[in-house]
Structure 1
Amino acid sequence: MATILNVNDTDASRYLVTRILEMAGHRVIEAATGGEALRLAQELRPDLVVLDVQLPDLNGYEVAARLRASPETASIAVMHTSATFITADKRVLGLDSGADAYLTQPFEPAELIATVKSLLRLRHAEQEMRLRADQLAEADRRKDEFLAMLAHELRNPLAAIMTAIGILERKSSDDAKEVRMRSIIHRQTHHLARLVDDLLDVSRITRGKVQLRRERMDLRTVLQQVFTLIRPVSEGRELRLETSLPDFPLWLQADATRLEQVFMNLLDNATKYTDAGGAVSVQASQEGVDGSARAVVRIQDTGIGIPANKLPAIFELFSQVDESLERTRGGLGIGLTLVRNLVELHGGTISASSPGVGRGSEFVVKLPLTVAPPALASTTIASDESKRHRRILLVEDNSDARQALKDLLELWGHQVEVAQDGMNGVARALEARPDLALVDIGLPGLDGYRVAQELRARVGQAIRLVAITGYGGPEDRHRALQAGFDHHLVKPVKPDELDRLLTDL
């Protein structure tokens, strides 16, 4: 049984409509003015309003418009009726004002009932769709929470492994097999870390939550860094890596970290889909001049190629070139989606082409160039003081990660105190007065945010605070800085990255 609000200032007409609706099994509420109709609609939330156009205060068009404008009543179905305003332009005006149907009087009872049934069916379908949308939104929220927790749980062991291999790589070995094993662990750990980052980043991008940290930079610097990282991978897969960069800078206003992510994904794909003995080529150049100038990066491989029917959807989420049961090439099918979105966030474009299966492929990234920066008058050289050994407090509840990072810091010559929870961390900081504290966020008892707040309140700026955490979203970074941290690092932290941070501090 539906609840229907019947609005008409003529007693006889209102009574007739009410009787027809009640005989059809509906519950009917009556109103004689537009103001009363709006009040009852707000209070009772009927399923449908049968609304006469000619009313003594507000006309039916205005009532319908106000019902649609209010979030509380916007979903109520509205049917206009009128014996006076029956021309086509009046019906159009009624529908434009927010009505879902328009009946001219006199009408047959069957016509009224059929129209009411139709509108109630539509309203029921809308309610089902709205409920489904709410359920999907809730499921999406839960997914995001799960991904954030999953990343945190995966990054903790990754941090310990990456730090440990960083220590091992600093010790020479004459055992060729041991060197190979270290290299394998290093490559696979970094690969797993990239998969975790890609999984989270694609979720953030689809929700519009990725913000670029733009700065003026030379694209060649990013590409050279990527070449350094990918060269061991290509050599391990017995591939030739051929690179060609211009002898002039390619200035961009861009997020260097995100662009490194773009080209690492593309080159990792190129090496992954190219068999041993093949080649991967990277060429960077400039096209256009002045305001239309763009940097162009072409990545070509001699790999398995892309079937013609796969090319149109190659950048879609979960799209896979290798769909065989063996899945020998691996991957989650999210890397190219992430790449496309990051390139587009920079105002650029990316395209893919392939002559066919077994004949390789080419990806072309184009990014808008910016004006070259002015030449620096002088170069500032870091002082010896910036590289001095420091007194460091490490607050980390994961025992393996804590021990590995402590060993690495001590290998660099720092004096390290450790604490395994937030309360102990605050106590050790107040007692030992370290120069710097590396603090995990997900600590038992007193979390990292509260540790930072407590130390800022009690020792002020006398200590530098660095958050090291598995939670890596922009909102997590913002919250860390708001709590009092000077820097926010996401696990697993690369040893070189940590070393640079300690030097800069």
Structure 2
Amino acid sequence: MIQPNLKKKNTISATDVSRNNSREDKLRFMLESAKILSTKVDFRTWLLEKAKLTVPSLADWCAIDVLVEHNGLERIAVIHQDQKMTDYLFEFEKRFPTTEKNSADLYAVIRTGKAQFVPVVTDETIRQGARSPEHLKAMQRLGLKSLMIIPICAHGKTLGALSLGYAKSGRVYTQNAFEFFQEFCNDLGVILDNGRLSLEIAKRDTAKDLFLASLSHELRNPLAPIKSSLELLKLREMTTDVREELAGIEHQFDHLAKLLGDLLDVTRFTQAKIEIVPHTLELRKLVERSLKANDALFRASDITLHFTYPSTPLPVWADDTRLEQAASNLINNAVKFTHSGGSIWVDLAKEDEYAVLKIRDNGEGIDPADLPNIFEIYFQGHGKDNASGLGIGLALVQKIVELHKGSIAARSEGRGKGSEFVIKLPITDIVSFASEPGSDAGTQRMTQHVLVVDDNVQAADSLVKLLNMSGCRAEARYSGIDALAHETLSDFDIILLDIGMPNMDGYEVIRALKARGIPPPPVVALTGYGLREDKQKALDAGFSAHLTKPIGIKELSEMFKKLLP
């Protein structure tokens, strides 16, 4: 009597499955599944959304588990058509965590890479899987009637498993459904493998960027006292020969500082955190400033410069600092790869609605095989003469130009035949020019009362000397604790505070100052960290401004004018 009833029940269930797992349902499922891949989310979200698609049309219950470190399992998704049962599944997971003892069938699939297909789950099946009377009772409440556990694999390795079950609906899985979900798990394997690879790449990129930022910070700190000492020497009387030697030292110092700036910039660009502050500027004046800044380099290299430009202005909507950085990078490269006695041509022109800057030389040229990759980050070319520098200058130039809605191209007929770089920028119809950088009549003598707080004694002392020789009344403290203990702290006009100090860093000092209830004088963060988020963090903490080491008297003078009446 029992056997016919079972057959009748199975016949009804097969009909139900046939209706719900029809070709149209599966096609709809695959189409919706493909849409999920078009969203920019992490692989865990992808897997969760795909699990949701299976319920209720193709399953009453679905779970996805993935392998993690030390052969453990992480449950990415657990979905049930009944929300109360979903809550119960989470409760079940807490009482009986997914371990090899509690989930022997799941671990067997992960370990062997072979699926388990149980079309009809009987009470005996549940009893065999139970580990205790309490476990049995909890499993019976799930009411499983049909079950599949299918490995998620990629490149011959098992990465996880998809579990699907029918319960109260009374449906059972067929061989056709089993094969369909095996194919589906192949797709999940690709998603999981690619997602993990992307995550690993992102982690390594983040680690690399943090390293570069940290390296830049650590190198900027010793540069700070060198910068101050150089500026102190420039304030003294000296012979022409000594002044020329000092100019050479300063040029090499600026070159080193520029390389460190490029390290920070490449970190900003790879994290998409670079910003420009554009205004209308005359391109000729910007190029002239770049050429003037490299004047000593031209003279030292014995290179002839040819500069031509139109009689009419070339107004562009640009960030002068960033665009000058791009122009200077190209000019430096031209000098770097042009032999003594060679020539460099810098030409400005208008072409249609674009301002065009061309920088051409008769130097070493570029191998044709290198041209397609010339703007890739860290690319240095195949020639031995190209293996100097960091390989990031041209990549930064391209990013800067693209931020200005422009384009850049490189041309060369081959090694030994020179090269040409062409920048095109859209001409703006806004012709109200902002004041040019450095247009103020020099740096005025300062008279402020300044406290410098830095654990680097040499850096603090050299900055104090520079400030005092410039007219300020400055003194130093070498720790945050000593600074807070100063008896007349409120008498200072401004405080220059290093952030990365031991025992009590700059953030702790600024919090302590504010906690006193007496408004302190303006406090400027002085640090080797110069990323945008570093600056914002300092402002959010209560600093009045942020300066990135190394700094000179010009930067300090401009900051004082900005902060002090």
Q: TM-score range by the shorter chain?
A: 0.7 to 0.9
SS of the equivalent of 1:197 reads helix
Residue 214 of structure 2 corresponds to residue 149 of structure 1: yes
Aligned twin of 2:22: none
Aligned twin of 1:222: 286
Residue 234 of structure 2 corresponds to residue 174 of structure 1: no
Which amino acid counterpart does residue 363 of structure 2 have in structure 1? G
Aligned twin of 2:422: 364
SS of the equivalent of 2:349 reads strand
Distance 1:494 1:9, change over 3 A: farther
Deviates more, 1:140-149 or 1:260-269: 140-149
Quote how far apart the aligned CAs of 1:401 are: 1.4
Residue 159 of structure 2 corresponds to residue 135 of structure 1: no
- Among residues 441, 457, 465, which one is paired with 1:407 in the alignment? 465
Quote how far apart the aligned CAs of 1:416 are: 0.5
Q: Counterparts of 1:145 and 1:287 in 2: how far apart (Å)?
A: 42
Show the 5 A alignment for 1:107-122.
109=175, 115-122=180-187
Quote how far apart the aligned CAs of 1:9 are: 11
Show the 5 A alignment for 1:33-432.
36-37=60-61, 39-40=79-80, 43=89, 109=175, 115-174=180-239, 176=241, 178-288=242-352, 293-321=353-381, 323-324=383-384, 327=385, 330-374=388-432, 387-428=445-486, 430-431=488-489
- Among residues 491, 496, 500, which one is paired with 1:438 in the alignment? 496
SS of the equivalent of 1:209 reads coil
Instruction: List runs of 5+ in structure 1 lacking aligned partners.
Output: 1-7, 17-29, 53-74, 82-104
Distance 1:145 1:31, change over 3 A: closer
Deviation sequence 1:36-56 (CA, Å, 0-9, x none)? 436448647999999x9xxxx
Residues 281, 433 of structure 2: 8 Å contact kept: no
Q: TM-score, normalised by structure 1?
A: 0.73
SS of the equivalent of 2:485 reads helix
Q: Counterparts of 1:350 and 1:449 in 2: how far apart (Å)?
A: 42
Q: Counterparts of 1:383 and 1:32 in 2: how far apart (Å)?
A: 76
SS of the equivalent of 2:450 reads strand
Quote how far apart the aligned CAs of 1:350 are: 0.7
Distance 1:388 1:333, change over 3 A: closer
Distance 1:374 1:228, change over 3 A: closer
Residues 393, 429 of structure 1: 8 Å contact kept: no
Distance 1:9 1:373, change over 3 A: farther
Deviation sequence 1:386-433 (CA, Å, 0-9, x none)? 854111111111122112211211111111011112222233385362
SS of the equivalent of 1:336 reads helix
Distance 1:336 1:394, change over 3 A: same
Residues 513, 520 of structure 2: 8 Å contact kept: no
Quote how far apart the aligned CAs of 1:441 are: 1.6
Aligned twin of 1:466: 524
Q: Counterparts of 2:433 and 2:255 in 1: how far apart (Å)?
A: 38
Deviation sequence 1:162-184 (CA, Å, 0-9, x none)? 222222233342272x4454233
Residues 9, 32 of structure 1: 8 Å contact kept: no
SS of the equivalent of 1:428 reads coil
Q: Counterparts of 1:420 and 1:309 in 2: how far apart (Å)?
A: 54
Q: Counterparts of 1:210 and 1:503 in 2: how far apart (Å)?
A: 26
What's the % identity of the aligned pairs? 33
Distance 1:383 1:129, change over 3 A: closer
Residues 316, 428 of structure 2: 8 Å contact kept: yes
Which amino acid counterpart does residue 492 of structure 1 have in structure 2? P
Distance 1:375 1:491, change over 3 A: closer
RMSD across aligned positions (CA): 3.9
Distance 1:455 1:13, change over 3 A: same
Which amino acid counterpart does residue 330 of structure 1 have in structure 2? S
Q: Counterparts of 1:382 and 1:261 in 2: how far apart (Å)?
A: 21
Q: Counterparts of 1:142 and 1:226 in 2: how far apart (Å)?
A: 34
SS of the equivalent of 1:163 reads helix
Residues 244, 282 of structure 1: 8 Å contact kept: yes
Deviates more, 1:456-465 or 1:213-222: 456-465
Deviates more, 1:299-308 or 1:234-243: 234-243
Quote how far apart the aligned CAs of 1:125 are: 4.2
Aligned twin of 1:63: none
Q: Counterparts of 1:14 and 1:336 in 2: how far apart (Å)?
A: 64
Which amino acid counterpart does residue 264 of structure 1 have in structure 2? S
Count of matched residue pairs: 426
Which amino acid counterpart does residue 412 of structure 2 have in structure 1? S
Which amino acid counterpart does residue 235 of structure 2 have in structure 1? R
Residues 352, 361 of structure 1: 8 Å contact kept: yes
Aligned twin of 1:95: none
Q: TM-score, normalised by structure 2?
A: 0.66
- Among residues 507, 517, 538, which one is paired with 1:480 in the alignment? 538
Q: Counterparts of 1:312 and 1:447 in 2: how far apart (Å)?
A: 47
Quote how far apart the aligned CAs of 1:126 are: 3.2
Distance 1:491 1:383, change over 3 A: closer
Q: Counterparts of 1:382 and 1:187 in 2: how far apart (Å)?
A: 23
Q: Counterparts of 2:441 and 2:309 in 1: how far apart (Å)?
A: 32
Aligned twin of 2:555: 497
Residues 387, 503 of structure 1: 8 Å contact kept: no
Show the 5 A alignment for 1:16-35.
none
Distance 1:281 1:382, change over 3 A: closer
Deviation sequence 1:178-205 (CA, Å, 0-9, x none)? 4454233212221121112212212221
Residues 231, 241 of structure 1: 8 Å contact kept: no
Deviation sequence 1:210-248 (CA, Å, 0-9, x none)? 111223333334323222221111212221233334454
SS of the equivalent of 1:227 reads helix
Distance 1:9 1:409, change over 3 A: farther
Which amino acid counterpart does residue 157 of structure 1 have in structure 2? P
